[in-house]
Structure 1
Amino acid sequence: MTTPSIFRTAMGAGFDRLHPQLRRRFSVGLASGEACTGRGVMHRIWHGGAWVKPFLALGATRNILVPRPGRDVPFVIENVPYTDTFGRETVSFVRTFALPGRPRRFDAQMVLSPKKDRVLDYLGTHQHLASDLHLHAEPDGSLLIRSGEHRFREGALDFRVPELIGATAQVRESYDDATDRFRIQVEVVNKHFGPLFGYEGTFEASYTDIHVRPGLRPVREERRA
């Protein structure tokens, strides 16, 4: 019997309600032997108020979020499964945005939670931030992902990010049969200050054998869930 992907395991029966193209894309894993690369265009990358810019610039030093807005920005997303330092199956979500002057990356590495009912999302080059992701199949076959609380881990530091400065992310991914392209929409919102950051675009996906290229894995890996 083939081991299911971390996403199928977390979603249970709901996984089968996804559009067939989404099911294939989120079936990448060590058992499938496949990686997925998406190439497309972010039609819009947006930011909230000016006060957000210093936080985005700081996050960008560790490949978290994107510090510049833009229109019609080419991008690549690499979903590559591998086994991390602690023996956990991991799937990369490394997004590279070809912004003018300098490409920017937004890195995440996903593993199955210890209870196997959600996915853990480790952000950035050093996995200082972690959050729970809850995945749901929508009636139209799209995938809706909502983040839970964020936790900061570095050495002896281990704490929940306060709601005042934290944020929740909502990701909606769907497949457009008319254009044969995936659609992605992301919005990051603070409960008190409103929308902070987001992007929306379309892409095509291709599937290859697993190859973990240099620079795809984070500099530091975090054991704590």
Structure 2
Amino acid sequence: MTSMFAEALGPDFARLHPMLQRRFGVGLDSGEACIGTGVMTSVRRGPWWTVPFLQLGRLRNILVPDVGEDVPFRIENYPYRDPFGRETVTFVREYDLRGRLRRFDATMVLDGRRIVDYLGTHQHLAVDLDLAVDDEGALLLTSDAQRFYEGPVAFRFPMWASGRARLRERFDDREGRFHIDLEVHHERFGFLFGYRGTFDCEWVPVTDAPERLKPRRHEVRT
């Protein structure tokens, strides 16, 4: 079994920088987790009217409403098998913003050749991800269709009512560090949220993810 990113990217996975291949090769078959620690040189948000939206997302660890520079952060990628038998990888980020810890929870599963990114403590939002590799071996990730699930309630967000995230992650050989740059834009209202930073990674042998990183509820619908 290959990792979900290798499955989703197909032959393009081999075009990733070797360090990115290892980082996004995390899965049950690899038997290891990737733990990154570093600094976000900037955490930004859009105009004042975005704050209530970001604050609402904070309640379920979906968005970060604060801003700052040189913000310490940690990202933990652990593979595990969820209650529905799906291979899952955690993408849990934690930020220390002037002594206030903020957390952004995400867990990813493979649905066919598509990666679905569940956001939040209860996997309320399911987001399709489009993946690509650029000429420098960096990973490019763009969010696509989004769906909301809560009990019997299920509906698809029209893109005009939501933002689209674009992420680029690369490895700098001179620095020996990973670089990440994410921005969320609305097609009409412009920039909503973003961050940029660098980090180091360590890989540790694992057979499961810690309970503290798993969502409180798993959603079977993709």
Please indicate the TM-score interval, normalised by the length of the shorter structure.
over 0.9
Q: Report the AA paired with residue 55 of structure 2.
A: A
Of 155, 159, 162 in structure 2, the residue corresponding to residue 163 of structure 1 is 159
**TM-score, normalized by length of structure 2?**
0.98
1:161 positional shift: 1.1
Q: Is the 8 A contact 1:184 1:201 kept in 2?
A: yes
Matched, 1:118 2:114: yes
| Residue matched to 2:92 | 94
Deviation at 1:163, TM superposition (A): 2.6
Cα offset, 1:157, TM superposition: 1.1
CA offset digits 1:6-45 (Å, max 9, x no partner): 1100100000000000000000110010100000000000
1:106 deviates by 0.5
Q: CA deviation at 1:151?
A: 0.5
> Matched residue pairs, number?
221
Amino acid of the structure 2 residue aligned with 1:185: D
Deviation at 1:214, TM superposition (A): 3.0
Give matches, 1:144-183, under 5 Å: 144-183=140-179
Query: TM-score normalised to the size of structure 1?
Result: 0.96
Deviation at residue 212 of structure 1 after TM alignment = 2.0
Runs of 4+, deviation exceeding 6 Å: none
Secondary structure of the residue that 2:108 maps to in structure 1? Answer: strand
Q: RMSD across aligned C-alpha pairs, in angstroms? A: 0.9
- For the 8 Å contact 1:118–1:135, the answer to whether it is kept is no
Runs of 5+ unmatched residues, structure 2: none
Amino acid of the structure 1 residue aligned with 2:52 = P
> How far apart in 1 are the matches of 2:100 and 2:212?
17
Aligned to 2:53: 55
SS at match of 1:87: coil
Q: Kindly state the Cα deviation for residue 162 of structure 1 after the two structures are TM-superposed.
A: 2.6
Residue 92 of structure 2 aligns to a residue whose secondary structure is strand
Query: 1:213 aligns to what?
Result: 210
Deviates more, 1:211-220 or 1:40-49: 211-220
- Tell me the secondary structure at the aligned position of residue 174 of structure 1: strand
Deviation at 1:102, TM superposition (A): 1.6
Name the residue aligned to 1:72.
70
* C-alpha distance in 2 between matches for 1:130 and 1:120: 6
Deviations 1:164-220 (A, max 9, x none): 321111110000001000000001111111110000000000000125223110011
| Deviation sequence 1:112-171 (CA, Å, 0-9, x none) | 01x2x2210000001110110111111110000011111101112111113332111111
Find out whether 1:140 has 2:148 as its counterpart: no
> Distance in 2 between the 1:99 and 1:168 partners?
24
The aligned amino acid for 2:102 is: R
The answer to whether the 8 A contact 1:11-1:118 is kept is: no
SS at match of 2:11: helix
